[in-house]
């Protein structure tokens, strides 16, 4: 954090939100312990809240700075900030123990960062 003090802008925030650095191991490995929030890729799950490979994680991303905020503007990206798509059929094929989710589980495409502004 100290190395970024005073240097965080919207581009840096977008990079942080897409980060796959495991906070415990230091490895570049998407999971529930990364800012990008890929619970669906974790064999650990999240205890009683999510089973291993549970369908949860960070899927709404927003970043702004003081200039943008003063104009009611922000950058946003739907889906994982890293650009990785979640494809329900592939996930369920790899993890049949989650088949009970099939009726409600949908694909979650990752969309590019988009500027949102008030008119």
Burial class from Cβ neighbours inside 10 Å (0-12, 13-18, 19+) for residue 63 reads: buried
**Structure letter (DSSP) for residue 115:** E
Burial class from Cβ neighbours inside 10 Å (0-12, 13-18, 19+) for residue 81 reads: buried
Domain positions in the chain are 2-117
pLDDT at 40 over 80: yes
Residue range 94-108, pLDDT digits in tens: 999 999 999 999 999
Neighbours of 80 (CB within 10 A): 25
CA-angle at 34, arms to 31 and 35, nearest 5°: 135
The whole-number pLDDT of residue 80 equals 95
């Amino acid at each position: 954090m100290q190395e970024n003090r005073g240097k965080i802008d919207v581009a840096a925030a977008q990079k942080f939100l897409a980060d796959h650095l495991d906070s415990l191991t230091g490895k570049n490995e998407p999971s529930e312990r990364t800012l990008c929030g890929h619970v669906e890729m974790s064999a650990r799950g999240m205890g009683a809240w999510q089973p291993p490979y549970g369908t949860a994680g960070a899927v709404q991303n927003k970043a702004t700075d003081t200039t943008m905020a003063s104009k009611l503007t922000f950058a946003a990206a739907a889906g994982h900030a890293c650009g990785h798509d979640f494809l329900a059929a592939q996930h369920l094929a790899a993890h049949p123990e989650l088949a009970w989710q099939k009726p409600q589980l949908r694909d979650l495409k990752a969309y590019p960062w988009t500027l949102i502004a008030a008119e």
